[in-house]
Copies of this chain bind each other. A is one copy, B any other.
Amino acid sequence: MKDTIDPAVIPTYDDVVAAHERIKPHIHRTPVLTSSYFNDLVGAELFFKCENFQKAGAFKVRGACNAVFGLSDALAERGVATHSSGNHALSLSYAAGRRGIPCNVVMPRTAPEAKKAAVRGYGGIITECEPSTTSREAVFAEVQERTGAEFVHPYNDPRVVAGQGTCSREFMEQTDGLDMMIAPIGGGGMISGCCLTLSNIAPEVQIIAAEPEQADDAYRSFKAGHIIADDAPVTIADGLKVPLKDLTWHFVSNHVSDILTASEQEIIDAMKLTWQRMKIVMEPSCAVPLATILKNKDKFAGKRVGVIVTGGNVDLDKLPWITG
C-alpha cells in the first residue's frame, strides 16, 4: 500500500485539538443516542453520534469552519470556493457566512433541490456542473480562476481532515470506551478524521468504513492497495460518489480495519428503519453504516460500536420508500 503523499501536508493530532478550539463557537456538540431496539437487533451496543443535528445539517461544517476560520484576513478577503455533492457546499457557505466572506460553490445540476436551496439560504453562490468528477473539476477551475478565492477541497485538505477529526474526539469523550467506530466513506474525509484522532488517542478502536455497493471504489481501492476512482457512480447515497484522494488514501490505507458495502435496497431499508425507530432524519449516505452492520451482525456482536450519523439533508418530498 504505497503512500505517495508529502508527509509535511499530513495533519497531526495537535491540528485536531487546535481545530476543535477554533470551531467550537460555530458548531454543535452533537448528542449521542442509543436505541435498545437496534441493540437487540444486532446483539451489540450501538452509539449514534448525531451529526445530522450539526449546524448546516452535517459533520462537514467541522472541516469547513476549520478551513475558513484558519485563514489570514488577507486570504479570507477573496472568499472561499469549492465543489461538492452537497453537504460540504452547505457547510462552507455557512462557515463563510459566519466570517462574512463570499463562498462560491460548484454543484452537480442533479444535486437535491433541498441542498441547492439551503446553499443559497446560507449565502453561497452556485455554479452548476454535470454529475461527474471530470465536469466538476473543469467547471471549478474556471470559477476559481475568475474569483481568485481560496479553494477548500471537500476532503483532500489537511484543514478539512483535522476539522472532521474533532467529531471522533467528541465521540470518545461522550462514550465510556468503544471497540469499533464506523462511518460512511465517499472521499474519505470523515474516515480520515477518525483515523487521525483515534490512532492518537484510542488506537485500540477498530475503524470500519461503509460504502454503497454501487459506488464501491474505496472498497476496491482498499483491496487493490492503490486508489481506484470511478467517474460517475450511481447510488442513492449521493454524498458518497466521490473518489479517495492522496491525503484520505494515506489515512484509509494505514488505519482502516475493513470496508463493508451495502446494496441500494439495504441502504433504503436501514434509512427507513432508523427514521421509524430512532425518530431521526438521516440522509441515505449516512444509513450505509447501519445497513452494513445489519448484514454483518456477527462482526459486531458483543461489541461497543460507535456509528457516525453523518448528515440529515434530505428532500422530504422525494423519499425513496415512497417514490421509489
Task: Identify which of residues 23-49 in chain A touch chain B, using a CB-to-CB cut-off of 8 Å.
Answer: 31, 33, 36
A142, CB-defined interface residue at 8 Å: no
Nearest Cβ on chain B to A86's Cβ, whole angstroms: 14
- Mask: chain A, 32-69; 1 = CB below 8 Å from B; 0 = not: 01001000000000000010110101000000000000
Chain B residues near A278: list those with CB within 8 A.
53
Contact A279 B33 (CB under 8 A): no
CA distance A156 to B162 in the complex (A): 54
Among residues of B, the one whose C-beta sits closest to the C-beta of A52 is B279
> In the complex, what residues of B have CB within 8 A of residue A317's CB?
321-322
Any B CB within 8 A of the CB of A280 = yes
Point out the residues of chain B lying under 8 angstroms from A322, CB to CB.
317, 319, 322
List chain B residues, Cβ under 8 A from A53.
Answer: 33, 278-280
The reply to whether A280 and B279 form a contact with Cβ atoms under 8 Å apart is: yes
**A276 to chain B: closest residue by CB:** B316
Segment 285-321 of A: residues with Cβ below 8 Å from B = 312, 316-317, 319, 321
Residue of B nearest to A51 (CB): B279
Q: How far is the CB of A232 from chain B (nearest CB, A)?
A: 28
Q: Determine if A83 is an interface residue (Cβ-Cβ < 8 Å).
A: no
Q: In the complex, which residues of chain B have a beta carbon less than 8 angstroms from the beta carbon of A319?
A: 316, 319, 322
Interface string of A191-206 (1 = CB under 8 A from B): 0000000000000000
Are A57 and B279 in touch, CB under 8 angstroms?
yes
Closest residue on chain B to residue A50 by CB atoms? B279
In the docked arrangement, what's the CA distance between A36 and B57, Å? 12
A57 to B33, CA, bound (A): 13
B residues within 8 A CB of A321? Answer: 316-317
Q: In this assembly, does A116 line the interface, its C-beta being within 8 Å of a C-beta of chain B?
A: no
CB A176 to nearest CB in B, in angstroms, measures 16
The smallest C-beta distance from A186 to any residue of chain B, in angstroms, reads: 19
Other-chain residue from B55, B114, B280 in contact with A281 (beta carbon distance below 8 A):
B280
Task: Report the bound CA distance from A317 to B312 in whole Å.
Answer: 19
Chain B residues, CB < 8 A from A52:
279
Q: Indicate which residue in B36, B276, B282 contacts A279 across the interface (CB closer than 8 Å).
A: B282
Cβ A275 vs Cβ B279 within 8 A: no
- A272 within 8 Å of B (CB atoms): yes
A313 to chain B minimum Cβ distance, whole angstroms, is: 8
Q: How far is the CB of A320 from chain B (nearest CB, A)?
A: 11
Q: How far is the CA of A57 from the CA of B35 in the complex (A)?
A: 11
Are A114 and B280 neighbours in the complex by a CB distance under 8 Å? no
Could you tell me which residues of chain A, from 241 to 297, have a CB within 8 Å of some CB in chain B? 272, 275-276, 278-282
Could you tell me the distance in whole angstroms from the C-beta of A24 to the nearest C-beta in chain B?
15
Q: Which residues from chain B contact A31 at a C-beta distance below 8 Å?
A: 31, 33
Q: A33 contacts which chain B residues (CB < 8 A)?
A: 31, 53
Across the A-B interface, give the 6 residue pairs with the lowest CB-CB distance, nearest first. A279-B312, A279-B281, A52-B279, A31-B31, A275-B281, A53-B279
